[in-house]
Amino acid sequence: MHIHREGYKIIFITLLIIGLIVSVINVLAPEQQWFHYLFYVLLLGWAVWTFAFFRVPHRKLNIEDINQVLAAADGTVVAIEEVEEPEYFKDKRIQVSVFMSPFNVHVNWYPIAGEVSYTKYHPGKFLVAYHPKSSTENERNTVVVRAEDGQEVLIRQIAGMMARRIISYAAKGDDAVPGKEFGIIRFGSRVDFLLPADATVHVKIGQKVRALKTTVASLKKLNA
């Protein structure tokens, strides 16, 4: 495990603020009392959480079939439904939504192998990430990966109520490799998968998924 590069600045600022708070507390009340220790515990918890948020686990890919769609993020499945996708496909798709709490790993990895065929950032609101309208009204970033057989999977990074920045490294024409990072979201957020209507979904609502480990769905083999 290592710390994500996007966290360096925030971690530094957090530690600086904590140091200033501790200094002010001890200047105003130099004699150590119970409330000092309460503040120390709370500030330590803040520091540990900040480090943990930007952790990047080193995981071995769980790939047994090229048609697998792996989870691109850690979190909880909050929606599985057939929807009309208006941005790119403009047809019916199966949407699987994964909510990422502030305590989950927030790095996003490509779920299938192929080539990035489309990317687009959309400014928007900051509704709670598990709200149904967050998929279309919140700040979000869309990435579409086209597999070698031509099938495409859309991954949508969605900012939540706490999230104020979506970071995406994906660009049209990039090679998409399972296990390769394509972005991160700060802080609580959501990732939607828009799958072909004939895809087989392997997860259920309420299930905890792990990026690169959990198979979200399987795409139909076109040459079968």
Q: How many CB atoms lie within 10 A of CB 65?
A: 9
Active site residue 218: no
Residues 6+ apart with CB under 8 A from 212: 59, 60, 61, 62, 70, 71, 109, 178, 179
**Amino acid of residue 203:** V
Average pLDDT over residues 39-62: 82
**Amino acid of residue 132:** P
Catalytic residue among 23, 101, 189, 218: 189
Residues 6+ apart with CB under 8 A from 82: 92, 93, 94, 95, 197
Q: Tell me which of 50-54, 72-76, 205-209 is least confident.
A: 50-54
pLDDT value at 195 more than 80: yes
pLDDT digits (tens, 9 = 90+) for 74-122: 999 999 999 998 899 989 999 999 988 878 877 889 999 999 999 999 8
pTM strictly above 0.85: no
44 DSSP assignment: H
Task: Give dist(CA 106, CA 51) in Å, integer.
Answer: 12
Average pLDDT over residues 119-139: 67
pLDDT tier at 49 (50, 70, 90 boundaries)?
confident
pLDDT digits (tens, 9 = 90+) for 162-193: 555 788 888 999 999 888 888 888 766 889 99
Q: Give the pLDDT confidence score for residue 26 in this predicted structure.
A: 84
Q: How far apart are the first and last CA of the chain?
A: 40
Average pLDDT over residues 198-208: 93
